[in-house]
């Protein structure tokens, strides 16, 4: 940081503010300033997804595979209906939903931008039922809808500017060139959406949206509480501090979901 002068930081801040777009997260209304476009994020995501599929092994369990696809599509349909009806119709073109179950014992799932969602077989013994699976898939869909990947990438770009950039770079390059260079740096460093770590705030927001998305699709949002209690028992993380983690503790997660439950139940029509 010693080589970065105050005038440069001011100029860089103004430059970053001038480029990018403002994104509004559905339901929560939270606004974020993104330095990467939907096209850029989707391009990187598609590349990463194709690479992942080359190494992943699809589940041989046809019944559970069909379950994941059915629940996922039901949620996606409900979410798209909501977006169309609430001024976000233009966002739908960014999604090409795909739901896959892979043969992996990890208790996990992930979502890539554009709606490419992967569930590991190891998660299903914990979800136990269709409604709990909907809670998980709703959470993953929420990451895509809220553009958390673009938000995290924008954060990394800002960090790169703060650490590496110099006055000469600022004077020699335009906003478009700088942004493109930063994105390429992230990609060349092995950026992997499957391993993208969201902040605690993003995870909490995905829990909130996911709870409502599940309710919109006709799944009882109240199943989220026993599901996360099972997850807490499995991880032993219920009372641990989350200060050094990018995920909230299970205890905080459950407390937040209980607080949001009345809102979610307003969307629930069995």
The catalytic residue positions are: 140
Residues 6+ apart with CB under 8 A from 50: none
Helix (H, G, I), strand (E, B) or coil at 244: coil
Query: Are the CB atoms for 4 and 162 separated by under 8 Å?
Result: yes
> In which order are the strands placed within the sheet that holds 98-102?
98-102, 116-120, 109-112
- Tokens read off for 212: 């409502």
- H helices of 107-243, in order, are 124-127, 130-145, 148-164, 167-172, 175-188, 200-216, 224-235
- Tokens read off for 255: 């407390």
Distance CA 138, CA 142 (A): 6
């Amino acid at each position: 940081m010693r080589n970065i002068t105050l005038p440069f930081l001011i100029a860089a801040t103004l430059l970053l503010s001038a480029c990018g777009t403002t994104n509004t997260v559905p339901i929560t209304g939270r606004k974020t300033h993104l330095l990467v476009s939907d096209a850029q994020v989707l391009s990187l995501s598609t590349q990463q997804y194709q690479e992942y599929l080359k190494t992943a092994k699809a589940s041989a369990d046809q019944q559970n595979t069909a379950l994941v696809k059915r629940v996922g599509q039901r949620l996606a349909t409900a979410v798209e209906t909501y977006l169309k009806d609430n001024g976000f119709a233009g966002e739908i073109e960014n999604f090409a939903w795909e739901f896959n179950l892979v043969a992996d014992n990890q208790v996990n799932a992930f979502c890539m931008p554009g709606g490419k969602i992967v569930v590991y077989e190891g998660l299903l013994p914990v979800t136990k039922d269709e409604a709990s699976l909907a809670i998980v898939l709703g959470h993953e869909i929420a990451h895509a809808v809220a553009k958390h990947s673009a938000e995290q990438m924008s954060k990394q770009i800002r960090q790169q500017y703060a650490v590496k950039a110099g006055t000469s770079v600022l004077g020699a390059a335009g906003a478009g060139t700088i942004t493109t260079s930063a994105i390429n740096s992230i990609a060349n460093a092995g950026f992997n959406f499957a391993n993208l770590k969201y902040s605690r705030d993003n995870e909490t927001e995905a829990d909130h949206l996911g709870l409502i998305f599940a309710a919109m699709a006709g799944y009882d949002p109240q199943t989220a509480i026993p599901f996360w209690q099972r997850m807490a028992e499995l991880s032993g993380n219920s009372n641990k501090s989350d200060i050094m983690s990018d995920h909230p503790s299970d205890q905080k997660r459950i407390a937040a979901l209980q607080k949001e439950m009345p809102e979610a139940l307003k969307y629930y029509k069995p």
